[in-house]
Structure formats: C-alpha cells, structure tokens
Amino acid sequence: MSVDTTTLIPLPVVLPLLGAGLTLMLSHRPQAQRLVTISILTSVVAIASILVVEADRNGPQVLWIGGWASPLGIALVADRLSALMLLVSAVVTLLVLLYSLGQRMTDDQKEAPVSIYHPTFLVLVAGVSNAFLAGDLFNLFVSFEMLLFASYVLLTLGGTEARIRAGTIYVVVNMLSSSLFLIALAAVYAATGSLNFAQLAVRLDEVPDGTRLMLQLLLLTTFAIKAAIFPLSFWLPDSYPTAPAPVTAVFAGLLTKVGVYAILRVQVLLFPDSPLSGLLMWAALLTMVIGILGAVAQSDIKRMLSFTLVSHIGYMVFGIGLATQAGTSGAIFYVAHHITIQTALFLVVGLIEHRAGSTGLMRMGGLARLSPLLAVLFFVPAMNLAGIPPMSGFIGKVGLLQAGLAVGTPLSYALVAAGVVTSLLTLYAVAKTWGLAFWRTPEQAHEMMRALPGLEDDLDDSHHQHGFVIHRQHVHVGGTAFGTQELAEARRVVDEDQPDRDLHQRLEDGSLPARLPLGMVLPTAALIAFSLALTVVAGPLYGYTDRAAHDLQERTPYISSVLGDDR
C-alpha cells in the first residue's frame, strides 16, 4: 500500500475529540450535530477495519506521537488484539448512537438534553479507542479518565434522583480506583524508570520477585475494579440500570471490557513468568457463579442483565487466568462476542421499556403477542448469551472450556464445571424473563398484581390460586419469587389514586405507543445481525484470535516493533 497506515493510528482518538468540540459548537443545530457524529463514527469504523487488516498482515503498527525518538515519546500501538477491540467497539458505538438518535426523536426529551449528548458520547468513544491503542501505562490512565469522565456525565444525564444516587456510587468507586492506578504508576516508575509497555516488559524481568508481585497485584486490583470482577463488582449492578437505555448499553458493552483488555495486556506482556493463575481463576470462578446467582434473583430485566454482565466477565478472566495460548485466544473471542451481545440485549431492553412502559417483570406479560418483532429481537441475543449452539456464545464457551480441559489442573476442571453451570443458569435467567414478560398474557400479570395485596392477610399458608403460590411472604410464579418490594409495587398499581399502572391497565388506557420506532429497531436489528455474523465468520475470527494470542504469548513482535530491532 502506498499510504503509510501508521498515520491512521491516532485518528480513532483524534477524530472523535475534534468531533466533540465541533458538536459542542453546533449545540443549537441538532441536524448538523447528528451529521458530524455519524460521519465521524463511520470513519472510525473504516479506519479500524484497515488497522485490523494491516496488523494481521504486517504485525503491530506503531506510531510515536510528535515524532519523538523511540523510547522517549508517547507510543500508540495497534497490534492484532488492539485492532480487533477497536473494530468491535467502533461498530457497537456507531449502532448505539443511531439507536439513541431514534429514541431521542420519540421520547426522553426532558431527561436527556440533546446538546451535550453528542460531545460526551464522542469523548467516550475517544477514550475507549485511546485505551485500546495506548502503548504505555500513563496513556492508559489518561484514556481511562477520558472515558470515565464522559461516563459520569452520561450516567447522570438530566440529574434525576435515581441517577444522582447511582451516579454518586459510580463516581466515588471510580475515583478510588483511579487513585489506586496512580499509586501503581508511581510504584512502577520508581521500580523501573519507565511506563512504556515494551520497555517495562524488558525491564520488569530484572526487578526483584517481591517487588514485581506487588506491582502486579496493584495493577490487577485497579483493573479488576474497572472490569467488575467479583469481590470488586458490587458497584456495577447498582449504577448501570438507572441510565438511559443506549447509555447502559454502551457502558455494559465497552467499559468493563476495557478493564478486561487492560488485565489481558498487562498479564501477558508485563508479567508472563508469574501469571498469578490461581488467584485469577478463583476470581473468575466466584465472578461467574455469584454473578449469575444474582441475576436469577432479580425481578427487573435491566438488573438481571447487569448481573449476567458481571457473571460473564468471569469467562474472560478464566481464559486470561489459564495463561495458555488457547485460553488467551478464547478470552479474546469471548470479549468480541460479549461486547456485541450484551449491548444488543440492553438495546432490546430499551425497546421493551418503550413498548411496555417499564422493565419490571411483575407488571409485564404478553409481549410476544403484542409485538412479535420485539420477541424475536429479545430471543435471539438471549439464546446467544446463554450459549445455545450454533451461535457465537456457544463457540466462545466451547473454546474456553477446551482450553481449560487442556490445562488439566483440579482448579481448571472446577472452572470448566462452573462455566457449564453458569451457562445453564444464564439460560434459566433469560428463560424466566421470557416466560414472564413475553409468554403469559397481560391479563394474567394484572390478575396477579391485583391478587397480591389481598393475599397478605393469610400469608402463613401456602396455597394455589391463578397458577401461583404464596409462601412465606414470597409469591412464587414457577421458579420466581417476589417479595415485599413487589407487594408494595402491586399495591401502588391496584390503588386507583396512584399514577402507577401496569401493562394491562396501560393497554386499556391506550397510553402506550402502539408501534416501535423504526429508528430504534433498525440499529438493534443491525447489531443482532452483526452478532450473528460473528457466528458465521467464527472460523476465520478464531484463526485471527489464535494469531493474536500467539503474538501476545511470544511478546517479541510487540516489543521489537515498539522499541525497534536491536541494530
């Protein structure tokens, strides 16, 4: 190729940042804002595709910003892993943006001021791209701050009470993890005198074992907070569900994966000799199992999905913890799969919220008949998430499980078992959602709501009525239990004076929009089609991730292309 492709490397960061400034200036002209944002995100997709091809053909592409001599300046590196992450995230952000444009025209006008949405979204994209391209730890820190700052604003859009409450926890947790990251940076710099990945990879070999272990633990803790790995995942299911649907979708798809990417990069490049396999695998096991148990307990679709998000992070950490080429390859494939599928599911939840007026499982029913399109849009990614063959979720899980069996330690067998159980429980959680929200009629849901407050008086008996069981203050419908919170909700719905209404009542009122807006459906369908395309091209994609994992395990392609050959 005649054009030097390394000049393209900074564009996924620079273009969105320029666009952010431009859209801020155009804040009174929404039409122009839309045009700028869409064209910038489309060109980022194109650039990322070129980088994927280049990185695959010619190895890691490196650009030293400002033309500083090799180890002095700031390097941006696009190797196979970075380029793939960049491409997937670019596609996802473009589709989410189109979706939010579709949503903006129909509802949510008050709660989300249009003028700041576009610039903030573009800063978020720039931060994510920069995190994938960063060639040194400090640049990684700066990109984390960029995307976090944008996420603070997006999460608290409109400043409603629920969003401020959830946002407070989110901001404080992330500020704390940023402080930890800074401590880690200071320690790494004191120990090695450098923050460049490639230089660190060389120099950390000479650092005493104890010091190196401390540095590794500091970095892992920081990234584990970002990636929501079990003991540090408490903040996620609380903060994500309150945001507007497209915001939750892009957070769920991308932000935690940036943490996973950072763990992967640091583990294989900087600390190849002491992988801390046991620790990571225990964390993966607990993340998977505890996350999915949380998902089963939820009675709101958004919260259920937030817990499955935490749970499935465990799969990726499992792959990284194995510290083999097959494990790394499986983890990379799973990240690509999970970004698309989790984002798609949250977009569908936005559609459900639009069509049914709520995401509470108690007050919904009959969506399959009400809107067959919506049912298909939910069903396909939900089955993909649970890992039903032949979809990409299945392929990713099989790859990881095979890698686990190949290692063959008792712990890896335990993780394989936990992976299968998690997959089954995921299926259970989404099937429960399906049964309640899509399968039964709205009348049944309403009947149950009406019956709940009346049945409080004889709570000590368990008895059957209308196909559900009351037992010990829990209302059991199939395998689902509802408790006191739901009883209060039911009382609000039944009470004539309250404005709270369930789906059946709102259908009677005719207060719900009858159709799904095309602007929201098309991007969602496109994203689901993209996730299915991952299944179709799974063979070549797995080949690509294998090569990426091979490069990562070798380390020399990255180091020699950043530092230059020893001449």
Partner 1 sequence: MNANLTLILTASFLCGTGVYLILERSLTRVLVGLLMLGNGVNLLFMVASGPAGEPPIIGSAHAEDMSDPLPQALVLTAIVIALGTTAFLLAMAHRSWQLNGHDDVQDDVEDAAIRLLAQADEASDSHDLSQELTTDDPGEDTFEEEGATT
Identified binder of partner 1 from the candidate list 111, 456, 508, 554, rule CB under 8 A = 456
Identified binder of partner 1 from the candidate list 37, 89, 130, 156, rule CB under 8 A = 156
Q: Which is nearer to partner 1, 307 or 315 (CB)?
A: 307
Give every CB contact of residue 133 below 8 A, 6+ residues apart in sequence.
Answer: 9, 10, 12, 13, 76, 77, 78, 82, 86
Q: Which is nearer to partner 1, 56 or 238 (CB)?
A: 238
Q: What are residue 411's phi and psi, to 5 degrees? A: -65, -40
Q: Which is nearer to partner 1, 389 or 483 (CB)?
A: 483
Q: Does 65 bind partner 1 (CB under 8 A)?
A: no
Q: Does 411 bind partner 1 (CB under 8 A)?
A: no
Q: Which is nearer to partner 1, 139 or 524 (CB)?
A: 139
Give the Cα-Cα-Cα angle 37, 38, 44 (nearest 5 degrees).
90
Q: Which is nearer to partner 1, 158 or 372 (CB)?
A: 158
Q: Which is nearer to partner 1, 106 or 178 (CB)?
A: 178
Q: How far apart are CA 55 and CA 493, in angstroms?
A: 57
**Contact set for partner 1, span 462-481 (CB under 8 A):** 472-474, 481
Q: Which is nearer to partner 1, 47 or 148 (CB)?
A: 148
Identified binder of partner 1 from the candidate list 64, 149, 379, 434, rule CB under 8 A = 149
**Contact set for partner 1, span 231-290 (CB under 8 A):** 238
Q: Which is nearer to partner 1, 296 or 512 (CB)?
A: 296
Identified binder of partner 1 from the candidate list 60, 167, 327, 404, rule CB under 8 A = 167
CB of 126 to partner 1, least distance (A): 15
Q: Which is nearer to partner 1, 34 or 432 (CB)?
A: 432
Give every CB contact of residue 273 below 8 A, 6+ residues apart in sequence.
Answer: 205
Number of C-beta neighbours around residue 461 at 10 A: 8
CB of 171 to partner 1, least distance (A): 6
Q: Which is nearer to partner 1, 175 or 376 (CB)?
A: 175
Q: How far apart are CA 99 and CA 408, in angstroms?
A: 45
Identified binder of partner 1 from the candidate list 213, 214, 286, 297, rule CB under 8 A = 297
Q: Does 308 bind partner 1 (CB under 8 A)?
A: no
Report which secondary-structure segment, H or E, holds 170: helix 161-192
Size of the site for partner 1 (CB under 8 A): 45
Q: Which is nearer to partner 1, 8 or 364 (CB)?
A: 364
Identified binder of partner 1 from the candidate list 22, 38, 116, 171, rule CB under 8 A = 171
The span of 1-9, 58-66, 293-301, 525-533 binding partner 1 (CB under 8 A) equals: 293-301
Q: How far apart are CA 20 and CA 16, in angstroms?
A: 6
Give every CB contact of residue 1 below 8 A, 6+ residues apart in sequence.
Answer: none
Q: How far apart are CA 8 and CA 58, in angstroms?
A: 15
Identified binder of partner 1 from the candidate list 116, 373, 459, 522, rule CB under 8 A = 459
HSE-CB for 170 with a 13 A CA cutoff: 27
Residue with the two structure tokens 């960029």: 146
Q: Does 488 bind partner 1 (CB under 8 A)?
A: yes
Residue of 188, 175, 180, 246 whose CA lies nearest to 215:
188
CB of 162 to partner 1, least distance (A): 8
Give every CB contact of residue 8 below 8 A, 6+ residues apart in sequence.
Answer: 47, 50, 51
Q: How far apart are CA 567 and CA 7, in angstroms?
A: 24
Crossing angle of the two packed helices 114-133 and 80-104, in degrees rounded to 10: 170
Q: Binding mask 116-135 vs partner 1 (x if CB under 8 A, - otherwise)?
A: --------------------
Residue with the two structure tokens 């579709």: 102
Report which secondary-structure segment, H or E, holds 501: none
CA distances (Å), 368 to each of 79, 172, 435, 513, in order? 44, 41, 10, 16
The span of 6-14, 173-181, 224-232, 441-449 binding partner 1 (CB under 8 A) equals: 173-181
Identified binder of partner 1 from the candidate list 14, 46, 53, 176, rule CB under 8 A = 176
Segments of 56-172 assigned E as strands: 61-64, 75-78
Produce one character per residue of 320-345: b if its CB has 16 or more CB atoms within 10 Å, e if not.
bbbbbbbbbbbbbbbbbbbbbbbbbb
Q: Which is nearer to partner 1, 478 or 483 (CB)?
A: 483
CA distances (Å), 182 to each of 126, 141, 330, in order? 21, 8, 31
CB of 234 to partner 1, least distance (A): 9
**Contact set for partner 1, span 180-199 (CB under 8 A):** 182-183, 185-187, 189-190
The span of 126-134, 166-174, 336-344, 398-406 binding partner 1 (CB under 8 A) equals: 166-174
Q: Does 532 bind partner 1 (CB under 8 A)?
A: no
Identified binder of partner 1 from the candidate list 4, 206, 209, 460, rule CB under 8 A = 460
Map residue 196 onto helix, strand or coil.
strand
Report which secondary-structure segment, H or E, holds 481: strand 480-482
Q: Is residue 472 exposed (0-12), middle (13-18) or buried (19+ Cβ within 10 Å)?
A: exposed
Q: Does 142 bind partner 1 (CB under 8 A)?
A: yes
Q: Does 165 bind partner 1 (CB under 8 A)?
A: yes
Q: Which residues bind partner 1 (CB under 8 A)?
A: 138, 142, 145, 149, 152-153, 156, 159, 161, 164-165, 167-169, 171-172, 175-176, 178-179, 182-183, 185-187, 189-190, 238, 297-298, 300, 303, 456, 459-460, 472-474, 481, 483-485, 487-488, 491
